[in-house]
Structure formats: structure tokens, C-alpha cells
Amino acid sequence: MLQEALSLAGYPERILVACSGGPDSLALAAVASYFARRGHVDGHAVEVGAVVVDHQLQAGSAEVAARTAKTLRELGLSPVQIRTVDVASSGAGPEAAARDARHAALEAAATEWGADAILLGHTLDDQAEQVLLGLARGSGTRSLAGMRPERGRLLRPFLGLRRADTEEICRAEELEPWHDPSNADPAFARSRTRVEVMPLLEEKLGPGVAESLARTAAILQLDADYLEDVANNTYAALAERSGPDVSLPEAALNELAPAIRFRVIAKAAADVGGQQPSYQRLLAAEALLRRQGSAGPVELPGGVSVYRLSLAQLLAGEPGEEQGGTAGVPRGGARCGKLVFRLRKPIRK
């Protein structure tokens, strides 16, 4: 699987293995070390290094990182780095904050060494849990598509392996992996999914649930990629900029299929500096297209306001915020019949 992943990535000359010391990433490091010792993959020269990220979230994390780095060097990987990060509190939750800090450290290490690929040890079980969590949260197609096998420099060659397979690799290589206690901590939704929900589903629905969820992710990745490409092209064709604002023509939006229309509206919000809107907020913004006369504002995450102006309002000369009239409503005939996306000015203290 690793050999196939590297071939699909164009046989990168330098790769980094992200290793926590757990069974999955340690097994990946052991497999990668085979190519490190040979010095090539299918005749293509390769160097294999590793990065251990210490999140400092548990007592003794520095010792775990040092022990893992020692094991990686013994496997023949070079260079081996330890990156210590500070996990900032985030509204997205501690897991997301730790992931962001980890990925930033990995990308920085890869850039410094000149690595073209970063290997992550996620397995089929991780993919199944990801899809199940997406279902529970009512997420869209992209979330249900799970983790990509390849995203930029990130490669996940073990997405077709079960967690039991990585544990077997560690036993065969006589490696002693570290078992993260947070993986069994019921305070985390992912841990509850792993320890309680997935075993219950296997018991009640029969074996093969994890494989079915992972297969669903693979199918939805194709759908999500296609819809994303269509939405990107559509947004590029429709978006009109006026200073910091973005406008989308109402008539053209109404002609779009709903799946594309919602994505285009979300892209406009992101383009002016906002965040990904929830489905409910997207519905509210999209509903502006069905109202008579002027409408809005609809507030989207990240401080974005969306308006729809009518021709009648503009002909009547109703003032906008620049004239001291309707607060926050942009003006100008050029925006008639359009949804206008504007990032609100921060309040001065």
C-alpha cells in the first residue's frame, strides 16, 4: 500500500513519516524503513525521515516523544525530529486544535527538509469513525467523504488496513507501541465512537460495518470532488467584486441546481473573509432569492452579512449606510438583482 501511494504521488524523493509512537504510525514507520534501507522505491531514489509531534497535553509526553524518536532512528529513518507545539484553545474543540497544531508542525518540518510527502498512519477504522461522526453531526458530502488518501503533501497509505493489521506489524517487527490513553477517554466523541459505538454496531448489524463505512467515504469522495469542481468553476464565472464586497447575480443563482447554489453561496462568504456557514445559515441566505423587494441582512459566521436589493428600492433613492439610511445595506444600481456579501467592519473600542 505504501509503494502504491508513493507511486501515485509521483515517487517523492524525500518523505517524512508522522509518528506518535502509537501502533498505526509506528507500523507505518516500520514499513517505510524498508524503503529507507534500500534507498529507492521501484528504482526511484528516496530518503525517509520522521517527525514526532509533542502536543504537551499529557504528563510524560516529552518522554514518550524521546522514546519514539529513538525507535525511529533504530529503524533507520533519518533525520528524526521532535517538534513541540502549543495547542491553542479553539472554538472547534480540543481535537481540532491539536490537529491544526500538529499539521502546522508537520508542514513546517517538511518545508525545512525539502520533503515532498508526509505519511500519516490513519487506518480504515479511523476512516469509518470519521464517517460515523459526520453522520451524527449532520454534516454534508465533504465531511461524509472522510479523509482523503492524498491531500497536498499528506498521504494516508494505510486507509485500506484495519487497526488490527498495524498491531500485527508491530508484533512482527518486535516494536512496542505507545497507547494513547485519550483514545479510550469517554470525554471525546471519537473515543466513545471507537470504544463503544463501533463494537455495538458490529454486534448488532454483523461484521463488516467498518468496511462499509469506509467504502461509503470512497464513493462520496468522487461525488464531493465533482461537485466542488463544478462549484469552483461556477463561482469563478458569476462572482463580481466591488471593493471588498462580492456580488452574485440573482437570476443566475436561481437557475443553478440547489447542490451547486448552496456551495456557490458558501464560497462567496469565504471569499470576503467569512467562515464555512452551517446548513441552516445557508438556507437563510438562499431564502433571500425568494423574497420580494429588498431583503436582509442575513448574518453568516465570521462577520459576513448578505443582502438582496430591489430595483424599486434603488429607484426610490433609499439611502444606504454611507448616507445614514438602512444600516449596513450597500447601495448602487450595479448591484441590483444580486446577492451582496460584505464583511462587517469591526467595532472600534
Which domains are seen in the chain, by residue range?
A: 2-219 (3.40.50.620), 239-343 (no CATH)
- Contact, 62 vs 49, CB < 8 A? no
236-277 pLDDT, tens digit per residue, is: 999 999 899 999 999 999 999 999 999 999 999 999 999 889
Assigned C-alpha cell, 78: 533519518
Residues 6+ apart with CB under 8 A from 335: 242, 247, 309
How far does Cα 113 stand from its chain's mean position?
A: 24
- Contact, 333 vs 314, CB < 8 A? yes
Residue 315 has pLDDT above 60, yes or no: no
Q: What does the alpha-carbon distance between residue 298 and residue 288 come to, in Å, rounded to a whole number?
A: 8
Residue 246 DSSP symbol = E
Q: Give the pairing of strands 245-249 and 338-343.
A: antiparallel
> Quick one: pLDDT at residue 90?
62
Confidence of residue 291 (pLDDT cuts 50, 70, 90): confident
168-221 pLDDT, tens digit per residue, is: 999 999 999 999 988 888 888 899 999 999 999 999 999 999 999 999 999 999
Higher per-residue confidence, 97 vs 122: 122
> Quick one: pLDDT at residue 182?
86
> Quick one: pLDDT at residue 274?
93
> Quick one: pLDDT at residue 57?
86
- Contact, 18 vs 120, CB < 8 A? yes
Residues 6+ apart with CB under 8 A from 65: 21, 52, 53, 54, 82, 84
Q: What does the alpha-carbon distance between residue 73 and residue 19 come to, in Å, rounded to a whole number?
A: 12
Least confident range from 32-36, 108-112, 316-320: namely 316-320
Q: Is 181 helix (H, G, I), strand (E, B) or coil?
A: helix
110-141 pLDDT, tens digit per residue, is: 999 999 999 999 999 999 999 999 998 887 88
50-93 pLDDT, tens digit per residue, is: 999 999 988 899 999 999 999 999 999 999 999 999 988 765 67
Q: What does the alpha-carbon distance between residue 8 and residue 102 come to, in Å, rounded to a whole number?
A: 24
Assigned C-alpha cell, 26: 509506528
Residue 323 has pLDDT above 50, yes or no: no
Confidence of residue 103 (pLDDT cuts 50, 70, 90): very high
Give the mean model confidence (pLDDT) for residues 136-159: 91
- Contact, 121 vs 92, CB < 8 A? no
pTM of the model: 0.84
Confidence of residue 349 (pLDDT cuts 50, 70, 90): very low
Assigned C-alpha cell, 85: 507545539
Residue 318 has pLDDT above 70, yes or no: no
Confidence of residue 333 (pLDDT cuts 50, 70, 90): very low
> Quick one: pLDDT at residue 82?
97
Q: What does the alpha-carbon distance between residue 273 and residue 128 come to, in Å, rounded to a whole number?
A: 33
Q: Among residues of the chain, what percentage have pLDDT more than 70?
A: 89
- Annotate 7-32 with b (16+ C-beta within 10 A) or e (fewer): eebebbeebbbbbbbbbbbbbbbbbb
> Quick one: pLDDT at residue 328?
47
How are strands ordered across the β-sheet holding 295-300?
Answer: 240-242, 245-249, 338-343, 304-308, 295-300
- Kindly list the distances between the CA atom of residue 145 and the CA atoms of 27, 91, 292, in Å, as whole numbers in the listed order: 25, 23, 38
Least confident range from 29-38, 93-102, 250-259, 321-330: namely 321-330
Give the mean model confidence (pLDDT) for residues 337-346: 84
Give the mean model confidence (pLDDT) for residues 136-158: 91
> Quick one: pLDDT at residue 343?
93
